[in-house]
Structure 1
Amino acid sequence: MPIVGNLLQLSQDAWLKFTDWKHVYGPIVYLNLAGQDVIVLNTLQAAADLLDRRASIYSSRPRFEVACNMLTEGMFFVFQGYTDRWRRMRRAAHESLHSGLMKNYHPIQTLETAILLKDMVKAPHDWDKHLRRTAASTVLSITYGLPPLKDVDDPSMATLENFLGKIVRAGYVDGFLIELFPSLMRIPALLAPWKKEAHEWAPQFTGLFEGLYAGVKEKVLEGDARPSFSASMVEKQIKFDLNDKETAWLVGTVATAYETISATMAWFMLAMVLYPEAQRKAHKELDAVVGRSRLPTLDDFESLVYIQAMVKEILRWHPVGPLGVQHRSTEDDVYEGYFIPKGTICIANIWGINRDPELWGPDADQFKPDRHIGSDGKLAPSPPDTKEEGHVSFGFGRRICVGRHLGRNSLFLNIASVLWMFTVKAPLGPDGQEVVCTEKSVDMGLVVRPQEYDYRFELRIPDAEEILNSHEEVL
């Protein structure tokens, strides 16, 4: 259409429309969003060829006027362009969060998982709140050395929830019209509520993250800091040429990752109800490897092959970020005969790629952990270009999620522990019959969660609570 181009064809669940368009228009679909060139990459081949193998020119971001330049003063790591500052922050984050350092955070993840189980035994109907608390508390403890949060109403979590709510909406492909019509920046704040709100919240968010980091830095200098990502960054600031504000926002960006962990766990709960056979297989493996006298730990990782496959599959089956975060090209390019001009926004259809029958077979829409296990009972090789993840939910190229190892470990331990203690069952309706659950989702912008159900959690082991209490005493 004139002026707006294809803008009105974008739906709330655009990933589904993009996947449909793949069958009509092919692996690369071009859109004109009010004059902005956009391409949707619907296949692993196209996404990997551009975002991985040509990462040097496909690693930048759109302007993100609200999400980056206004709400976060240009400091939010995920939304920054491919600049020198971003590269310095990325190197610093990688050095503190690479796979070799994950053991440093095992005690925190173990303690938080024990608290999760205890909360679920006490108040199973509040399972989603417990997942949110656990994810947030784990990440805050790892990033700032904070003690466990008591509940989801903790002030620290409330502020982060507010921040995330604004960020995930503003960062979506059609979050604000200003991203497509920059001239709207000239509108006075009195006539633009979004502008007034961004100006009001930005200093509060900066103050939050700078305050948290400053507290850790002071303790480090006094020799009284608990091990944390922030504490390690105090020592790395000079090495990576980062000032206090840049470092505070880098740590803050990592701290906000908890939403993706809790949302993935919510999809896992739904999968256990929809696919009870997968739950039975997990129970069988846990009984064989862990037994019924102790809880699973991260030391069981290599032995719990089916649980590892579950983690891969839940991230593949329902990625909480079905379109990821958009990339932007910084040079003209030609790919497979297509001309891609400089400044084109590139959207990887992670949902469509993760459910591509050519990669995963005709049952790609189903939750099936066995697809990641070979005939020898070990993890099977993942499709090329999925980096042995078995999915592309962590993103591509130089923009791949820097905290993926941390997130994967938390998911593994949470899933193994919940299934060790409980059998997850469908909720009961007023008539006493099981409710038929569906995959209907709740779209929050960049993050998509499942509809919440009042699942039932039945204890599998008679003395599970006593074992849990003993476990906590050891911790």
Structure 2
Amino acid sequence: MNSTTLNITVVSDELDRKKSLLASIAAQQVFLAASFLVSCLFYAHHSRSKGSKLPLPPGPPGWPVIGNLLKYPDSRRWLTEYLWKFNYGPLVYLNILGKPTVILTTVEATHELLNKRAAKYSGRDLSVMAGDLVSKGYNLIFRQYDAQMRLHQRLNVAGLNPRSAALYDPVLRLESLQLLHDILTESRAQPGSEGDQTPRPADTQTSRPFNPRWYFQRANVGSLHVILYGDRLVKEDPTTAGKMDFLLTCPTLQALQNPPLVDTFPWLKSIPYALSPWKLRAESMFKEEEAYHLRNLRNAVNQPGYNVAKQVADSAKRLNMELSDTEISWVIGTLFLANGDTSPTFITWFLVMMVNYPRVMHKAQQVLDEVVGHDRLPTHDDRSRMPYIDAIIDEVMRYRPVVPSGVDHLSVEEDEYMGYRIPKGTIIVTSQFSLARDKAAFGADAEEFRPERWLERNDLPIIGFGNGRRVCPGRHVAKEILWIMVTRLLWAYEMEAPIDPETKKKKVIDDRDTVPVGIVIGPSPFEAVFTPRGKWVEDIIENDFKNADFDVNRIMEDVARSKGL
């Protein structure tokens, strides 16, 4: 065979290969398009299936087949939910490609259905990619409320109940001191020189403006990491950045942010691998997240002091629960990831509110000066004498919920409420943003940021930690972390927006300017100025930091003794 013939043969083979590839891609696209049409028709028929004679709740009109899909965008959907509340009331019905969906927009409706009737509303809508493929059913957030989930909740209780949360106070004091010192150091640094102690040249604001988000995250996540896994996350440790970055890039979060078609049409999960590339991607994503959780678990069980992961592993073994290391690692890992962005986002919203409402900040600082003074840092022992601090925390959580559209529930049987039918299999959306502005629950000024409302009434509902049987298991620890961080920031710093060098006026930090991280919604990145409230602040922070014992193993050994372990 001469070279010309050989070249022709190679080219011909290459053309055949490309034709085959194109044919395969075309077949896949045709198959998926046909699947989409068949599924739409199925769901449309299913949505008209007979049930109770009661009407469905009111809602916006939809299109044939796709229903309200185009009217319920992913971007800022909580605002859409809030506007619908005025048109349709406490229950807003949607048809999303045939899937019945009910948005709850009032506190009363949410409490009645998700708390009082929790047995009917504790399900979860099927998440094929994040729940089945990427986490293989190990992630509690996506599990149905079954025996395995109840077992996982039981394992978590011992390490996260109110009594245990109070025992972690020495850890929270340490990590909040680290936060204060980090902010002091960053505020003093010259632009472009990390940690430089040289003061800035005299200016209208003597502290350097910077974005504190990383420090908020390190302090909150660091506290949780000690409690769950037994070791600290410090800036100087080269592994810290990777562990914190994983909170924002973990496979489960990626699956939620970029769901494939299979999440809309779950039956596509059964089609062959050749036509479902998401399966190969999901397997790789599962292995990545599994490795992360297992690495944390194995490190935790080898720590000399107490940690929740070690207690869960010991309890599972002692009670013969026959749980694999992988399953145990996901039990703890889910808690870590779920709280890894919500608490830092809350602290960032708190900062926005203090910058925009200095009256509230100064009132809190007056309380702190009266109760704590200028000779020491505040501690949890001061909490009962400073209810206004708790009022600020509750009001920030209400006014700017970090998950404004909530986490969906699913009705596991047909029900009726307010004369309307709620079909079995209905997705239940708890519109936290709408609940927070419910005038029947929070008063005529529910649109305003006013912490005093929490001192005037003792029956206001706390929103932000979930409802019913799916309430956040880490809420007690989270509340303790938030309190110490907020209180010490208020005690130490005057928090304000930086001055615009062009206008010579303070910049505006717009609390309507938001950015999503999965379902968590925080303010868009911004810089703030933290000015120590006096020389006494700097002296106390520097002295306490210099003399602090950062041996968390000793602290956690004391926790173990207090628990009788």
Q: Partners of 1:299 and 1:258 in 2: how far apart?
A: 26
- The counterpart of 1:156, out of the listed 211, 234, 243, is 243
Change (3 A) 1:421 1:242: farther
TM-score (norm 2): 0.77
How far residue 155 of structure 1 moved from its aligned partner, in angstroms, is 2.3
1:96-135 → structure 2 map (5 Å cutoff): 96-124=159-187, 125-135=210-220
How far residue 167 of structure 1 moved from its aligned partner, in angstroms, is 3.4
Change (3 A) 1:469 1:240: farther
The residue number in structure 2 matching 1:229 is: 308
Are 1:25 and 2:79 matched, yes or no? no
The residue number in structure 1 matching 2:332 is: 251
Are 1:437 and 2:509 matched, yes or no? yes
Q: Deviations over 1:258-306 (max 9, x none)?
A: 2100000010110011111000101101101111111111222212211
Question: Does the residue aligned with 2:385 lie in a helix, a strand or coil?
Answer: coil
> What is the RMSD computed on CA atoms of the aligned residues?
2.0
Q: Partners of 1:281 and 1:175 in 2: how far apart?
A: 45
How far residue 470 of structure 1 moved from its aligned partner, in angstroms, is 2.5
Q: Partners of 2:515 and 2:147 in 1: how far apart?
A: 36
Q: Work out the number of aligned pairs and report it.
A: 456
CA contact (8 A) 1:88 1:240 kept: no
Q: Return 420-429 or 225-234, whichever deviates more.
A: 225-234
How far residue 240 of structure 1 moved from its aligned partner, in angstroms, is 7.7
Change (3 A) 1:240 1:277: farther
Are 1:241 and 2:321 matched, yes or no? yes
Question: Does the residue aligned with 2:212 lie in a helix, a strand or coil?
Answer: helix
Counterpart residue type for residue 310 of structure 2: A
Q: Deviations over 1:222-281 (max 9, x none)?
A: xx6221111221222143825122221111011111210000001011001111100010
The residue number in structure 1 matching 2:495 is: 424
How far residue 459 of structure 1 moved from its aligned partner, in angstroms, is 0.8
Q: Any stretches of 5+ residues in structure 2 without a counterpart?
A: 1-62, 188-209, 550-565
CA contact (8 A) 1:36 1:180 kept: no
Counterpart residue type for residue 458 of structure 2: P
CA contact (8 A) 2:174 2:548 kept: no
Counterpart residue type for residue 446 of structure 1: I
Question: Does the residue aligned with 1:369 lie in a helix, a strand or coil?
Answer: coil
How far residue 335 of structure 1 moved from its aligned partner, in angstroms, is 2.0
The residue number in structure 2 matching 1:181 is: 265
Change (3 A) 1:270 1:416: same
How far residue 176 of structure 1 moved from its aligned partner, in angstroms, is 4.5
Q: Any stretches of 5+ residues in structure 1 without a counterpart?
A: 375-379
Q: Partners of 1:95 and 1:31 in 2: how far apart?
A: 40
Q: Deviations over 1:346-366 (max 9, x none)?
A: 111111001112222232122
CA contact (8 A) 2:247 2:341 kept: no
The residue number in structure 1 matching 2:554 is: none
CA contact (8 A) 1:311 1:408 kept: no
Counterpart residue type for residue 369 of structure 2: D
Q: Return 424-433 or 195-204, whichever deviates more.
A: 195-204
How far residue 23 of structure 1 moved from its aligned partner, in angstroms, is 1.1
Change (3 A) 1:245 1:402: same
Change (3 A) 1:175 1:381: farther
Q: Partners of 1:354 and 1:424 in 2: how far apart?
A: 25
Are 1:464 and 2:537 matched, yes or no? yes
Are 1:361 and 2:443 matched, yes or no? yes
1:317-328 → structure 2 map (5 Å cutoff): 317-328=399-410
Q: Partners of 1:64 and 1:132 in 2: how far apart?
A: 28
Change (3 A) 1:77 1:225: farther
How far residue 107 of structure 1 moved from its aligned partner, in angstroms, is 1.3
Change (3 A) 1:469 1:73: same
CA contact (8 A) 2:248 2:517 kept: no
Q: Return 233-242 or 256-265, whichever deviates more.
A: 233-242
Q: Partners of 1:24 and 1:395 in 2: how far apart?
A: 26
CA contact (8 A) 2:126 2:266 kept: no
The residue number in structure 1 matching 2:222 is: 137
Q: Deviations over 1:143-181 (max 9, x none)?
A: 100123226962222233321xx5346447x95443222
Question: Does the residue aligned with 1:330 lie in a helix, a strand or coil?
Answer: coil
The residue number in structure 2 matching 1:409 is: 480
Change (3 A) 1:340 1:281: same
Are 1:392 and 2:455 matched, yes or no? no
The residue number in structure 2 matching 1:454 is: 527
The residue number in structure 1 matching 2:191 is: none
Change (3 A) 1:274 1:337: same
1:247-396 → structure 2 map (5 Å cutoff): 247-256=328-337, 257-374=339-456, 380-383=457-460, 386=461, 391-396=462-467
Change (3 A) 1:213 1:373: same
Question: Does the residue aligned with 2:508 lie in a helix, a strand or coil?
Answer: coil
How far residue 126 of structure 1 moved from its aligned partner, in angstroms, is 3.9
Question: Does the residue aligned with 1:463 lie in a helix, a strand or coil?
Answer: helix
The residue number in structure 2 matching 1:208 is: 292
Change (3 A) 1:266 1:193: farther
Q: Partners of 1:197 and 1:270 in 2: how far apart?
A: 39
Change (3 A) 1:438 1:103: same
TM-score (norm 1): 0.91
- The counterpart of 2:151, out of the listed 82, 88, 92, is 88
The residue number in structure 2 matching 1:377 is: none
How far residue 121 of structure 1 moved from its aligned partner, in angstroms, is 0.8
Q: Deviations over 1:383-435 (max 9, x none)?
A: 3xx3xxxx311111011111111111111111111111100011221312111
Q: Partners of 2:261 and 2:437 in 1: how far apart?
A: 30
1:4-15 → structure 2 map (5 Å cutoff): 4-11=66-73, 12-15=75-78
CA contact (8 A) 1:169 1:446 kept: no
Counterpart residue type for residue 459 of structure 1: P
CA contact (8 A) 1:442 1:450 kept: yes
Larger gyration radius, structure 1 or structure 2: 2
Q: Deviations over 1:367-387 (max 9, x none)?
A: 21111113xxxxx4123xx3x
